[in-house]
Structure 1
Amino acid sequence: METTSRVGAQAPAAEGGQQLPSARRTVDGYLQAPFPWYGLDEAFTGPRWLMQVGTAADGAVEHGSIGHGDEPSVRVETGVVGEPREKFAVVVTVAAQPSRRSADGTGLLEATSVSSAAWLAGVGLLSFTWPGQMDHSLRDDWLDQQTETAWALADDLDGPEWSKLSLPVDGVAASFYYRESEFGWVLAGTTDAGVHLGAYGRGMSAYGLGFAVVKDVSAYA
């Protein structure tokens, strides 16, 4: 997927409760998408927040993420027993796209698939974690290596690293690919609404989750 990302944390507010321009830009990216956004269903009653959208070279929104629970920060996994951990789940929505010409007409863009959602979810989880006892200067090399691993795993969804998990999507049971690691869990599947879904998290069990179309994404800003 040849996309760029526009990162947007939870929308900041100015005095008096008015949103700052950066917050409005973040919401605008989600509102410009020609596909529905997904999040956890109404069974989840905790905080929800916008994260980022990914765009093609021509500016078209192709995917994005919505977070649930504690806002994750980059953490070193020290393995200390009893250490508090953030509890979150992030849902990644990816537009289902066939192979298509690039904006300048000089080549073809790769089609999106369930593997695209699995890779984005895997990289998303990595972006908030790195192993304990690792020198900070080595983190970029570690991330590059793990990103390649995440892509290889996403390209082999029927391989031994993945299991099958059935979860509700808009109230109907759907099949997902699922795997766990020392850093958290990742899953990916597809919907009848023309999008693929990825998700990742830690501290929240994936087995009890359900997904549903977001009725008003601007309410999360």
Structure 2
Amino acid sequence: METTSSSRVGAQPAEAPAPADAPPQTAPPQPSQSQDGTPVPAASRAAERFLAADFPWYGLDGAFTGPRWLMQVGTGADGTVEHGSTGHGDEPSARGEIATGEKERFAVVITVASNPLRRSGDGTGVLEATSVSSAAWLAGSGLLAYSWPGQMDHTLRDDWLDQQTEAAWELADDLTGEDWSTLSLPVDGEPTTFHYRESEFGWVLAGTASGGVYLGAYGRGMSAYGLGFSVIGDLTAYE
């Protein structure tokens, strides 16, 4: 993934450490009250951030009947929404199945806008265009945010995350490498080829949707082989 001014799209879970040259990761905080002073529910504030995007959001298709929720959006240096994620199944925690043995079943879908030109945070350079590799890295680093080897002390986890996140970047930069296989899954009803890999922490996949966006996904306890993706027509299904 060549770049004029090296950067990576920021990771969306708050616990995933973003590289130093990544753009701002989350949208600006939204007011907790409306103009008339009425409290705005957290889910509504999250939906407002998603509605600010100028590209379609994707989630699991109608075959999935479990819980859905909105996660975070990532923005560029100018505040434009660049990517975001939607959750399905059990809401994962950092000290989940990997560390405690408690079974979590979840799949997170990441939508990344196709963006051929992105400005650096200081406005002095041009960042690399988004790509399937951007979606792959977001998915890989996202899965790591909810992974914690059971034998690892809390004080060592930050170092572990830094090392594993860098490894996720290197893997995303080589989607034709031996660590990846291919998997065909439906997107809006059309068979679509994804790059796919598994690890002890779960699975990660990345591909391209017809709506001019890139898709990434990660999960654990829920097989990737039976998934399908579609445009989210109504965000209230995720509130």
- For the 8 Å contact 1:89–1:202, the answer to whether it is kept is yes
Instruction: Tell me which amino acid in the other structure corresponds to 1:72.
Output: P
The answer for the alignment partner of 1:70 in structure 2 is 90
Answer whether contact 2:23 2:121 (CA < 8 A) is retained: no
The size of the alignment, in residue pairs, is 210
Please tell me whether residue 213 in structure 1 is matched to residue 227 in structure 2. Answer: no
Q: Which of 59, 75, 78 is equivalent to 1:39?
A: 59
Instruction: After TM superposition, list the pairs within 5 Å mapping 1:1-221 onto structure 2.
Output: 1=9, 2-6=22-26, 20-75=40-95, 77-78=98-99, 83-102=101-120, 105-221=123-239
Let me know the Cα RMSD of the aligned residues.
2.1
Give the C-alpha shift of residue 204 in structure 1: 0.3
Question: Which residue of 2 is the match for residue 12 of structure 1?
Answer: none
* Structure (1/2) with the larger strand percentage: 1
Q: Is the 8 A contact 2:76 2:118 kept in 1?
A: no
TM-aligned CA deviation for residue 21 of structure 1: 4.6
Moved more, 189-198 or 68-77: 68-77
Q: Which moved more, 1:153-162 or 1:100-109?
A: 100-109
Change (3 A) 1:104 1:139: closer
TM superposition shift of 1:104: 6.2
In structure 2, what is the Cα distance between the partners aligned to 1:203 and 1:21?
Answer: 30
1:43-80 Cα distance to aligned partner (Å, 9 max, x none): 000010001000011110000000000000112624x8
Contact 1:3 1:62 in 2 (8 A): no
Q: CA deviation at 1:102?
A: 4.4
- In the alignment, the residues of structure 1 paired with residue 225 and residue 217 of structure 2 have an alpha-carbon distance, to the nearest angstrom, of 12
> Between the two proteins, what is the percent identity of the paired residues?
69
Q: Distance in 1 between matches of 2:121 and 2:201?
A: 37
- Provide the rounded CA distance (Å) in 1 between the counterparts of 2:227 and 2:119: 36
The separation in 2 between residues aligned to 1:101 and 1:122, in whole angstroms, is 24
Structure 1 spans left out of the alignment, 5+ residues: 8-17
What corresponds to 1:15 in structure 2?
none
Between the aligned partners of 2:122 and 2:201, the Cα distance in structure 1 is: 39
| 8 A contact 2:77–2:119 mirrored in 1 | no
CA distance in 2, matches of 1:217, 1:103: 30
Aligned AA for 1:200?
A: Y
Cα deviation 1:107-139 (Å, max 9, x = unaligned): 102210000000000011000111111111010
Please list every run of 5 or more consecutive structure 2 residues that lacks an aligned counterpart in the other structure: 1-8, 10-21, 28-37
Change (3 A) 1:19 1:41: farther
Kindly provide the CA deviation profile for residues 152-202 of structure 1, in whole angstroms up to 9, marking residues without a partner as x.
Answer: 000000000000000000000000000000000000000111100000000
Q: Using a 3 Å threshold, how does the CA distance of structure 1 residues 44 and 219 change in structure 2: closer, same or farther?
A: closer
Local SS of the residue matching 2:116: coil
